[in-house]
Structure 1
Amino acid sequence: MLCFPHAGGSASSFYWLSSALRPDVEVWAVQYPGRQDRLREPLVDDIGRLADGLFAALLEYLPPAPAFFGHSMGATVAFEVALRAERRLGTPIPRLIASGRRAPSRRRDENVHRRSDEGLIAEVQELSGTHSELLNDEEARRTYLPVIRNDYRAIETYAPPREQTLSCPITAFVGADDPRVTLDEAEAWDRHTDAGFRMRVFPGGHFYLTERPAETVTSLREALGSATSPLRSEI
């Protein structure tokens, strides 16, 4: 399973998931430019360009038939990389698991990336996201705020040119109390596949997966085990 991080996130955010799914599932995680071991590379504030770069890099390392799992911004990035893989390789991935993100066809007018530093910090802390506690430290702010602002700019300006559809099943994961994704917006992922759809609602908010790790792991195992089964929406 190939994992795509949320806004401000990095590959290491999936370490716990890799440990939990081992040895049945081999977990890989992409690293966006501008963080951790890619710290010196320039940030990319466009989802299309980010997906282009990731797909080009993955061509060399991509394991056979990986399912994609993306959380929040990562769900949209995973969707775009899956489109490129299907279009250029000629075969769909086994399954896309889109977590904590509304479908690409469901847009909102958002401008968090234009807020002051304090406004951006308030947004991250409300969601209990990456480094939310660290952002109380001035040095940590200088390190992480540019990355978080960049990623918010990328996802908030994302506009797919048309309603695109994958030929793989899609599973949507969403927290029941997520302030940024309604159940209707999550269920709209059904419009982006012609191979079956399932939806799983978890107790919790935007980062339900760290609030409910055992349930998340169980649901991932179920989704990966049914990667070839056409499914309809279940809540």
Structure 2
Amino acid sequence: MTLGPRPTATRPAVAGERWFRRYPATSAPRRRLVVLPHAGGSASFFHAWGTAFDAGTEVVVARYPGRHDRLADPCIDSMAELTEQVTEALLPLLDVPVTLFGHSMGASLAYEVTLRLAERHGVSPAALHVSSRKPPHRLTPRRLHEQGDDALIAEVRRLGGTDEALLSDPDLRDIVLPAIRADFTIVGTYGPRPADPVDCPVYAYLGDRDPSISVQDMSGWADIAPSHFRLDVLRGGHFYLQDHRESVTRVIDARMAGRTV
């Protein structure tokens, strides 16, 4: 679907600057890639993506509250509220075509933002890219967020992708735990929900040794993608992105530019 007129932001532009770390294109951007990190993740995980795309692409990575330079901002533990705030902050950036990429929890968030943009603002992304997360109608609720700190840390370690120093040092762990618990509350209380379709192509990515998601699970994203769906399976676990950053960003870059991959 062609991007419609730029909606009028209902919140000050500064909200968008607080919510997103932007890596400006070297020329006036022709498109934007909006990256939504995983549970417990931050914009810094995707720092290298900032220079991985062509000169016409501006990379925009979400900065969730309660971590790094938003450490003083209250954490959000509701998918509905996170979707609301991310969508509103995104509105001023819709002057060029926008592609969404979400990893793990970020995939569910990207899907919800896509629905919200269409329902409230009449806008669809150029494409939705989802990574390492079951589709909304195949999710099974988990109560991990109701367990103690040790259980949370054990799950974060099992999935990988988090600096071990943050988990091993008691002082650092106390700093990051509130954000981790808030994110796992979102993960544990979201879905299953109806497979409402989106009006854009959907591309899915999965590591072949992901401990929580199978190829069959990931294939279920096709149910919300009536226009186009493709699944790419790469070697690796839940954070296959760490070993395949160049190949994944190259594929996304090509797809944003309209090249068949």
Match of 1:179 among 211, 221, 224: 211
The partner residue of 1:16 within 22, 45, 48 is 48
Q: Partners of 1:63 and 1:147 in 2: how far apart?
A: 31
Aligned to 1:224: 256
Q: Which residue of 1 is the match for residue 197 of structure 2?
A: 165
Q: Counterparts of 1:39-78 in structure 2 under 5 Å?
A: 39-78=71-110
The whole-number CA distance in structure 1 between the counterparts of 2:240 and 2:217 is 17
- Given candidates 28, 31, 35, the residue that maps to 2:60 is 28
One of 89, 92, 99 as aligned partner of 2:131: 99
* Unaligned 5+ runs, structure 2: 1-32
Alpha-carbon shift at residue 98 of structure 1 (Å): 0.1
Give the TM-score normalised by the residue count of structure 2: 0.82
Q: Percent identity?
A: 36
The residue that corresponds to 2:117 in the other structure is: 85
Q: For structure 1, which segment, 217-226 or 118-127, has the greater mean C-alpha deviation from structure 2 after superposition? A: 217-226
2:37 equivalent in structure 1: 5
* Separation (CA, whole Å) in 2 of partners of 1:161 and 1:208: 27
Does residue 121 of structure 1 match 2:168?
no
Aligned length: 229
CA apart distance, 1:141: 0.7
Q: CA deviation at 1:213?
A: 1.8
- CA-CA distance at 1:36 after TM superposition: 2.2
Q: Is 1:139 matched up with 2:171? A: yes
Cα deviation digits, residues 75-132 of structure 1 (max 9, x gap): 1111111111111221311100001111111122322212221221111111112233
Change (3 A) 1:126 1:21: same
Change in Cα spacing, 1:69 to 1:146, as seen in structure 2 (3 Å) is: same
Q: TM-score, normalised by structure 1?
A: 0.91
Amino acid corresponding to residue 175 of structure 2 in structure 1: T
Partners of 1:100 and 1:181 within 8 A in 2: yes
Contact 2:140 2:191 in 1 (8 A): no
Residues 205 and 195 (structure 1), Cα distance of their counterparts in 2 relative to 1, 3 Å cut: same
- Which protein has the bigger strand share? 2
Name the CA shift for 1:160/1:106 in 2 (closer, same or farther; >3 Å).
Answer: closer
Alpha-carbon distance in 1 for matches of 2:202, 2:110:
11
| CA distance in 1: counterparts of 2:222 and 2:73, whole angstroms | 36
Do the aligned residues in 1 keep the contact of 2:97 with 2:125 (CA within 8 Å)?
A: yes
Matches of 1:126 and 1:215, distance apart in 2: 24
The DSSP-based 3-state class of the residue aligned with 1:8 is coil
Q: Following the alignment from structure 2 to structure 1, what is the Cα–Cα distance between the partners of residues 92 and 68?
A: 21
Deviation at 1:220, TM superposition (A): 1.7
2:9 aligns with none
Runs of 4+ in structure 1 deviating by more than 3 angstroms, as ranges, are none
Computed over aligned residues only, the root mean square deviation of the Cα atoms, in angstroms, reads 1.8
Evaluate the alpha carbon distance shift between residue 74 and residue 47 of structure 1 in structure 2; reply closer, same or farther with a 3 A threshold.
same
Q: Quick one: which of 91, 111, 115 aligns to 2:143?
A: 111
Quote the offset at 1:22 in angstroms.
4.6
Structure 2 CA distance for aligned equivalents of residues 223 and 61 of structure 1: 20
* Gaps in structure 1 of 5+ consecutive residues: none
